[in-house]
Amino acid sequence: MSQHEIQSQVAEAAMQNWDMTLGDLNKISVEYENDGWETVVLHPGEVQVVSKDEDLPGLDVLIPDDEYRELEATLESGVSFDSYEVYKDLLDGVVHLIVVLEDASANTVLMYPAYYGPEDSRLITNGCRENGLRTYLRRLNGEFVELTHTDPELFAPPTK
């Protein structure tokens, strides 16, 4: 089976539970907003695990142009995310993630959902121990913002 076929199967399986993941994302966002945080919430159209370079594996997250512009404006305003948390669940063999990045001094939080299949768990957890895991928040024209996550274990499949 080709890599493209595997990714298509993972995406199809992820979509079966995507509404639940987006519901959880919304709940987390509302909690932050109720606590007075400025929230930037991204809604990907597509998520893939990439390994362009084994030292820089990551998640390629395609986001809508309007959300990308909001992300750019947030970063240009001086927000610098200095901590993060990853909520995760294993649903029908697919790891669903909600990544939440905080800048406490700016009282701003960025959050986005993602997913990956079981065949990518080794790459996610083992392939990036020294250099961290990357998220490429990308728009369709190829522009992207790269985020580095220094603790890839937070992205590892949950143990139940």
pTM: 0.89
CB 26 within 8 A of CB 45: no
**pLDDT of 88-97, one tens digit each?**
999 888 999 9
Q: What is the mean pLDDT of residues 48-53?
A: 72
CB 59 within 8 A of CB 123: no
What's the pLDDT score for residue 38? 97
Q: Distance between CA 83 and CA 104 in Å, rounded?
A: 8
